[in-house]
Amino acid sequence: MRAPRKPAFTLIELLVVIAIIAILAAILFPVFAQARDKARQAACFSNLRQIGTAIHLYMQDHDERLPDSCMWGRAWSWGAFGGPYALTGRCQQDGITKATPTNTYMSPEQTPPRFLQELLHPYVKNAQLWFCPSVSRDRVFGTDPKWPTYAYNGTTYLWNWYAAPQYSQNPYSKRKELTISGLAVAAIPRPSEAPVAWDMPYWNPIKAPCTNTSIPPAHAKGVNALYADSHAKFSAFSGRIAWDCQEDWWADHNWEGYYE
């Protein structure tokens, strides 16, 4: 007597199962990716809130003045080409020159302290805090691989070194630039509207072809920003083109709250 045949999938049934799995994957993978991005954005936001607390403590020890960072960040000093804020000028630090490899990780313990992460290090004591998980430390600032990495810059957060309203259309676009580093909080008309630090990259490519499409922002829909009153919030991109084919959050917002 022949043994009964075991039930098995037919080819059509197998193809149907594979198709269903593919459809479910197409539906679920973007959801998982969005959830992961949201978690990273939340971690970046938490970092900025802690930085805001550190700035508040710093100001208590420095006559209610904001940290006197010598520039937006070390990467800008690297590109200053001999200007007063170059690595050989006001932003000079021990053992760091133009010859230092641009992928070197610069901890917040450099001497003398020149940049935000170093000035606040006594109040933070957490080197990981200075890097948003959405941005790799090995990532360069632009399309040129010779430019510094975020590891070299020492942080993925930009310090709002000075207000320059002339780079966007606003009621203060004809006013003079204002240095924010070292500024007394009492001299800021609206501290709750005045950004002091935010996520990098903060450029939002809007249309193609765009020379900066290889520099996507840290978060797809906006940036986490910290303000002079030490509160943080998420600021959505506006979709306005600053130049070329991209939005520049700095150009649109660096001046807000600093003029009256």
Q: What is the pLDDT along the chain (260 residues), one digit of tens a residue?
A: 555 555 555 777 777 778 778 777 677 556 545 667 777 889 999 999 999 999 999 999 999 999 999 999 999 999 886 689 999 999 999 999 989 999 999 999 999 999 999 999 999 989 999 999 999 999 998 778 889 999 999 999 999 999 999 999 999 999 999 999 999 999 999 999 999 999 999 988 887 666 555 578 888 889 999 999 999 999 999 888 777 788 899 999 999 999 99
- In a domain, residue 1? The reply is no
Helix (H, G, I), strand (E, B) or coil at 237: coil
Task: Print the SS3 string covering 58-99.
Answer: HHHHCCCECCCCCCCCHHHHHCCCCCCCCCCCCCCECCECCC
H helices then E strands: how many in the chain? 6, 8
Q: Is 143 left (phi over 0), alpha (psi -120 to 50) or beta?
A: alpha
Could you tell me the two tokens for 157? 């957060």
- In a domain, residue 6? The reply is no
- In a domain, residue 184? The reply is yes
Residues in the chain: 260
Quote the CA–CA distance of 160 and 69 in Å, as a whole number: 9
Q: Does the pTM exceed 0.85?
A: no
Q: Which residues contact 82 (CB under 8 A, 6 or more apart)?
A: 88, 89
- In a domain, residue 2? The reply is no
CB 163 within 8 A of CB 258: yes
Which residue range forms the structural domain that includes residue 80?
Answer: 12-253
| Tokens 């600053």 -> residue | 242
- In a domain, residue 35? The reply is yes
| Tokens 């000075």 -> residue | 162
Residue 28's Cβ-count burial label (10 Å; 0-12, 13-18, 19+) is exposed
Number of domains, the chain: 1
- In a domain, residue 59? The reply is yes
